[in-house]
């Protein structure tokens, strides 16, 4: 079975054929760190995380680059408005982005270049385009890309060349512009007083200034894949649909004109928007929900991932409290199974559980290989969990094949609730008791957090057995012992127990930048 991906270049789902078999370079346009990334931005980053995770799970040697845009119109304007340097303005937002990314379980990229750290390769690229006569310096001192000199311009966004208005009289220097404004775009913007005031100006052979947003991604991507693998074509380039034009169109033009290759990325992938109550989430419309809003509301990252993966990345999705509630339930079902499995894992597979695991693998792989069909992959996971629960209900164990199937799903989707709250169901406790689990763990918690969690779960199982034996004094003593080690035990319906670390940390950074 091969991986097939939708390529915006051809508007088709095609087999993924990387430059070198078994290797996959992936460039994803990162956030502009002038403000907090919102949950709509994170929908894109999560689709890209799923892509990265699936490539890795499929055995590819993946090289993932995600930039941080720290110099563009918006970061400069925001720093100038506050009267601070560019660096002072963006640094806290870069830190906040990483916290939110980690909270949402998005794997950190292998390379996370910041635009201001790659000014030299940008100057080199622009100089190359000037030397080839594809770029020119205008009266305003800025350097522009001449789209008339690049016949393939408009291929990605299917822009009709008759609509183009090329020429020195039609230029755009803004980093973002509309399709009807397709015109020569700025590669290097001559430094103005505002740029100098915030420290966003650099010397170049063609004058002091700063890079345009589009050239930043081209230069960073080319520099990093050259260093890594000595190539100048990406396997996959991804972003949100609003980047198709002009950003990605311009990236292709600059990169291909510079390298002389007829492609900059073999596959272009674009994720659809996330709406909020039917409106596109945008800072412009003021209907923003950030990852930290969700954290402060106590949302679980597993539930957020579950919600977003329940819709295909190329379909529009509307965020609502009801959708999050449903996702929380789905995620909780998976979490309850995970905890049950942890206490009832067997050493061998019986034919039935091995068959369930094999069916899951086939369905899960087929779904993700079909242009990352995450909703179907989630469906396959819930089927697996239903079958697993049924077999556990019959008092059976689930062997290594079943455990590996669960681990694959958890590795690729990561939609189970945070392990912070662990649930031991009455069934799981009964199985544990049969197994002789009320073997008492040591009185002192082990230092490693994962061991400490297992320790706490074990004590919780012992306490449940003591309560059933009506040994309430000992049950209370265990509750206090766990409390002293930072764990709270809560009795739940139908004999289930939750084990929760006290003071569940919301590790938001301490110095939060003002809105
Ligand atoms: Zn980009």
The mean per-residue pLDDT over the stretch 260-277 comes to: 94
Helix (H) or strand (E) holding 383: helix 374-393
Q: Where are the alpha helices (DSSP H) in 63-105?
A: 73-82, 86-103
Task: Output the CA 510–ligand 1 centroid distance in Å.
Answer: 30
Rounded Cα distance between 52 and 264, Å, is 19
Burial class of 442 by CB neighbour count within 10 A (0 to 12, 13 to 18, 19+):
exposed
91-138 pLDDT, tens digit per residue, is 999 999 999 999 999 999 999 999 999 999 999 999 999 999 999 999
Question: Binning pLDDT at 50, 70 and 90, where does residue 450 land?
Answer: low
Task: Output the CA 28–ligand 1 centroid distance in Å.
Answer: 7
Task: Output the CA 344–ligand 1 centroid distance in Å.
Answer: 47
The closest of 452, 418, 446 to 338, measured between CA atoms, is: 418
The mean per-residue pLDDT over the stretch 203-229 comes to: 97
Rounded Cα distance between 167 and 144, Å, is 10
Partners of 366 in beta bridges? none
The mean per-residue pLDDT over the stretch 387-397 comes to: 92
What value, to the nearest 5°, has the Cα angle with vertex 151 and ends 229 and 170?
A: 110
- Residue 255 and residue 247 in contact, taking contact as beta carbons nearer than 8 Å: no
DSSP output for 108-131:
PPSB--BGGGGHHHHHHHHHHHHH
- Identify the pLDDT of residue 298: 83
236-258 pLDDT, tens digit per residue, is 999 999 999 999 999 999 999 99
Rounded Cα distance between 81 and 63, Å, is 37
> What is the model's pTM?
0.84
- Identify the pLDDT of residue 270: 98
- Identify the pLDDT of residue 147: 92
Task: Output the CA 335–ligand 1 centroid distance in Å.
Answer: 36
The mean per-residue pLDDT over the stretch 440-469 comes to: 81
4-22 pLDDT, tens digit per residue, is 999 999 999 999 999 999 9
Read off the tokens for 176.
Answer: 């973002």
CA pseudo-torsion sign 446, 449, 454, 460? positive
Chain-wide mean pLDDT for the chain?
Answer: 89
- Identify the pLDDT of residue 421: 64
Inform me whether the pLDDT recorded for 413 exceeds 70. Answer: yes
Q: Could you tell me which residue, 379 or 346, shows the higher pLDDT? A: 379
4-13, 159-168, 198-207: least confidently modelled range: 159-168
Read off the tokens for 407.
Answer: 């681990």
Task: Output the CA 406–ligand 1 centroid distance in Å.
Answer: 35
Lookup result for tokens 């609502």 = 320
472-493 pLDDT, tens digit per residue, is 999 999 999 988 888 888 887 7
Neighbours of 335 (CB within 10 A): 21
- Residue 191 and residue 205 in contact, taking contact as beta carbons nearer than 8 Å: no
Inform me whether the pLDDT recorded for 168 exceeds 50. Answer: no
Question: Binning pLDDT at 50, 70 and 90, where does residue 66 land?
Answer: very high
Task: Output the CA 216–ligand 1 centroid distance in Å.
Answer: 7
Task: Output the CA 493–ligand 1 centroid distance in Å.
Answer: 50
Task: Output the CA 53–ligand 1 centroid distance in Å.
Answer: 21
What is the end-to-end Cα distance of the chain in Å, rounded? Answer: 48
| Spatial CB neighbours of 330, under 8 Å, sequence gap ≥ 6 | 303, 306, 310, 378, 382, 415
Read off the tokens for 330.
Answer: 């789905």
Q: Could you tell me which residue, 285 or 11, shows the higher pLDDT? A: 11
Task: Output the CA 248–ligand 1 centroid distance in Å.
Answer: 7
- Identify the pLDDT of residue 162: 59
Task: Output the CA 167–ligand 1 centroid distance in Å.
Answer: 25
The mean per-residue pLDDT over the stretch 272-285 comes to: 80
Burial class of 11 by CB neighbour count within 10 A (0 to 12, 13 to 18, 19+):
exposed
The mean per-residue pLDDT over the stretch 70-75 comes to: 94
Q: Could you tell me which residue, 231 or 159, shows the higher pLDDT? A: 231
Task: Output the CA 239–ligand 1 centroid distance in Å.
Answer: 8
- Identify the pLDDT of residue 425: 73
- Identify the pLDDT of residue 281: 74
Residue 259: how many CA atoms within 13 Å on its side-chain side?
Answer: 23
Inform me whether the pLDDT recorded for 510 exceeds 50. Answer: no
What SS3 class is residue 49?
Answer: helix
Task: Output the CA 337–ligand 1 centroid distance in Å.
Answer: 40
- Residue 149 and residue 134 in contact, taking contact as beta carbons nearer than 8 Å: yes
Read off the tokens for 315.
Answer: 């379909």
Task: Output the CA 262–ligand 1 centroid distance in Å.
Answer: 19
- Residue 461 and residue 437 in contact, taking contact as beta carbons nearer than 8 Å: yes
């Amino acid at each position: 079975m091969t991986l097939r991906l939708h390529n915006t270049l051809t508007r088709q789902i095609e087999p993924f054929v990387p430059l070198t078999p078994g290797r996959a370079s992936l460039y994803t346009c990162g956030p502009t760190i002038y403000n907090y990334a919102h949950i709509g931005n994170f929908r894109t980053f999560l689709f890209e995380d799923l892509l990265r995770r699936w490539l890795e799970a499929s055995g590819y040697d993946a090289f993932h680059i995600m930039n941080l845009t720290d110099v563009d119109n918006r970061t400069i304007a925001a720093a100038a408005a506050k009267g601070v340097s560019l660096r002072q303005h963006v640094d806290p937002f870069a830190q906040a982005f990483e916290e939110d990314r980690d909270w949402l379980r998005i794997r950190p990229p292998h390379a996370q270049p910041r635009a201001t750290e790659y000014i030299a390769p940008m100057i080199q690229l622009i100089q190359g385009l000037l030397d080839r006569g594809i770029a020119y310096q205008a009266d305003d001192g800025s350097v522009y890309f001449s789209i008339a000199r690049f016949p393939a311009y408009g291929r990605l966004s299917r822009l009709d060349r008759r609509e183009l208005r090329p020429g020195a009289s039609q230029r755009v220097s803004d980093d973002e512009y509309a399709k009807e404004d397709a015109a020569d775009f700025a590669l290097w913007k001559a430094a103005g007083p505002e740029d100098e005031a915030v420290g966003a100006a650099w010397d170049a052979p063609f004058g002091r200034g700063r890079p345009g947003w589009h050239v930043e991604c081209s230069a960073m991507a080319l520099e990093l894949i050259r260093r890594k693998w000595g190539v100048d074509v990406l396997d996959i380039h991804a972003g949100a649909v609003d980047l198709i034009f002009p950003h990605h169109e311009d990236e292709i033009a600059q990169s291909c004109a510079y390298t002389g290759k007829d492609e900059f990325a073999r596959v272009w992938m674009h994720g659809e928007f996330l709406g909020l109550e039917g409106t596109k989430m945008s800072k412009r419309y003021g209907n923003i929900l950030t990852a930290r809003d969700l954290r402060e509301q106590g949302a679980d990252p597993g539930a957020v991932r579950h919600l977003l993966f329940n819709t295909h990345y190329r379909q529009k999705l509307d965020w609502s409290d009801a959708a999050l509630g449903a996702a929380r339930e789905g995620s909780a079902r998976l979490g309850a199974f995970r905890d049950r499995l942890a206490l009832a894992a067997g050493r061998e597979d019986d034919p039935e559980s091995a068959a369930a695991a094999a069916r899951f693998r086939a369905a899960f792989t087929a779904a993700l290989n079909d242009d990352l069909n995450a909703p179907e992959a989630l469906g396959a996971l819930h089927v697996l969990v239903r079958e697993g629960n049924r077999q556990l209900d019959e008092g059976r164990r689930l062997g290594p094949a079943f455990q590996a199937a669960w681990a694959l799903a958890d590795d690729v989707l990561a939609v189970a609730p945070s392990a912070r709250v662990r649930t031991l169901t009455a069934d799981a406790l009964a199985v544990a008791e049969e197994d002789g689990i009320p073997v008492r763990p040591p009185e002192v918690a082990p230092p490693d957090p994962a061991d400490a969690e297992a320790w706490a779960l074990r004590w919780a199982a012992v306490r449940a057995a003591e309560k059933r034996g009506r040994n309430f004094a000992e049950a209370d003593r265990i509750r206090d012992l766990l409390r002293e080690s930072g764990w709270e035990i809560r009795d739940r319906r139908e004999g289930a127990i939750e084990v929760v670390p006290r003071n569940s940390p919301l590790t938001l950074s301490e110095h939060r930048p003002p809105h």
